[in-house]
Amino acid sequence: MMKGLARTFVAFSKPALVPGLGLNRKVPSLALAHARRHFGINRKTTFKILPGQDPKEAHSNYADPMEKEEGEIDFRNWLGKFPPKKEEVPFGEWSLESKRCGALGRKMGMMKVWDARGIQIPLTVVRLENCQVIDIKKRTTTRAHNHKVNLLLGAGSIPQRELNKAQMVMFRKAGIEPKEKLAEFNVSLDAILPVGTKLDVRHFVPGQFLDIVGTSRDKGFQGVMKRHNFSGQRATHGVSLTHRAPGSTGACQNPSKVWKGKKMPGHMGNNRMTIFNIQLYKIDIDRNLLFLKGSLPGNRGTWVQIRDAVRKPWIEQHPPPFPTFDAEANKDQEGVNEIIMDVSHLGDPFAYG
């Protein structure tokens, strides 16, 4: 057994730069992995150690290729520990380059309402169930001027017995109860939220457009008429028992094959999809509900990701709550149960002439 382990170490040995071992020394992979975890070394980031210098000190003084510019935040100072959970973080000012965090919601079903004009509107109800920021993660990028950060969000609740060890460590480190659903949202540096921040429906504004990401319903194995909207073959003369068949799928002797990507029967649904430009009609603050115009992918009870629309962004005259809704700065909204989109600027569809 020991001989087999020794052969394994030799087989996976590779030249590497490890503190205290010199340059281009043959190091087993386990030792290299330990050095990476302990000193933060990877294949693209290495540093030299001067005689008598502490390896940790050399790593902290390493010149990062993504060096911060004047007025920017240094990743090494706040990553993993900034902003603290209980420390107040000043709210920034929104700009056209800013990118806010999204939210996680559970699809509750559909309903219909009538607006002030008497128009019937189909709505999908989404509930934000205790949506919180769990972790702050750095997003690697090759452009030094395009620093981005990923915020790990969690929603719902789950018993602690259903967690593995890594998940338990993550939630205990954040000081947050276990969450059922996790997702990462990309934000700009001025939109970072502290760990433990709760997002409610006032993070979004009625009337704005949203992009919804979800998983479509699983429909199983389906034929070409349902899966690809084929018209089918003739239903009368000349066709026997092949009315819904796909028909010919290949060519003659040349090329004597079926081309890749040919539309044929197969599995349908259960795909991750994005619905763009879904308008938010109303929010219910007491029950933490979002009322979105139209339909969303997935069954009732599934999770969806809610983001600000990319194709219809905010304008400078009407900025969004940034980086999220500040209850202290908007005390005038206390006691408000719901906020409905204004439709007074929309024309009456029944007015002719």
Dump pLDDT digits (tens) for 188-209.
Answer: 888 888 898 999 999 999 999 9
Q: Work out the average pLDDT over 41-63.
A: 49
CB of 183 within 8 A of CB of 306? no
Percent of the chain beyond pLDDT 90?
42
Q: Which of 128, 110, 117, 129 is nearest to 293 (CA)?
A: 110
Q: Is the dihedral of CA 131, 137, 140, 143 positive or negative?
A: positive
Longest dimension (CA), the chain: 92
pLDDT band of 145, cuts 50, 70, 90: low
Residue 221: helix, strand or coil by DSSP?
Answer: strand
DSSP string, 98-118: -----EEEEEEEEEEEE-TTS
CA distance 94 to 72: 16
Indicate if the pLDDT at residue 88 is higher than 60: no
DSSP one-letter code for 85: S
CA distance 213 to 304: 6
Q: Is the dihedral of CA 72, 73, 76, 77 positive or negative?
A: positive
Instruction: Find tokens 């087989």 and name the residue.
Output: 11
Q: Which of 7, 52, 51, 59 is nearest to 29 (CA)?
A: 7
* Amino acid making up residue 191: A
CB of 151 within 8 A of CB of 192? yes
pTM (predicted TM-score): 0.70
CB-hemisphere CA count at 13 Å for 40? 12
Indicate if the pLDDT at residue 78 is higher than 80: no
Tokens standing for residue 283: 């929010």
Q: Which of 9, 56, 53, 5 is nearest to 33 (CA)?
A: 9
* Amino acid making up residue 226: K
Indicate if the pLDDT at residue 245 is higher than 90: yes
Tokens standing for residue 120: 């019937």
* Amino acid making up residue 188: S
Report for 107-111, 331-335, 338-342: range of highest mean pLDDT: 107-111
Indicate if the pLDDT at residue 106 is higher than 80: yes
Burial class (CB in 10 A: 0-12, 13-18, 19+), 213: middle
Q: Work out the average pLDDT over 322-334.
A: 78
Indicate if the pLDDT at residue 335 is higher than 50: yes
**26-40, 112-126, 286-300: segment of lowest average pLDDT:** 26-40
**43-47, 199-203, 337-341: segment of lowest average pLDDT:** 43-47
Q: What is the pLDDT of residue 73?
A: 42
Instruction: Find tokens 């569809």 and name the residue.
Output: 349
Indicate if the pLDDT at residue 77 is higher than 50: no
pLDDT tens string 264-301: 999 999 999 999 999 999 999 999 999 999 999 999 99
Indicate if the pLDDT at residue 311 is higher than 90: yes
Q: Is the dihedral of CA 18, 19, 20, 24 positive or negative?
A: positive
Percent of the chain beyond pLDDT 70?
70
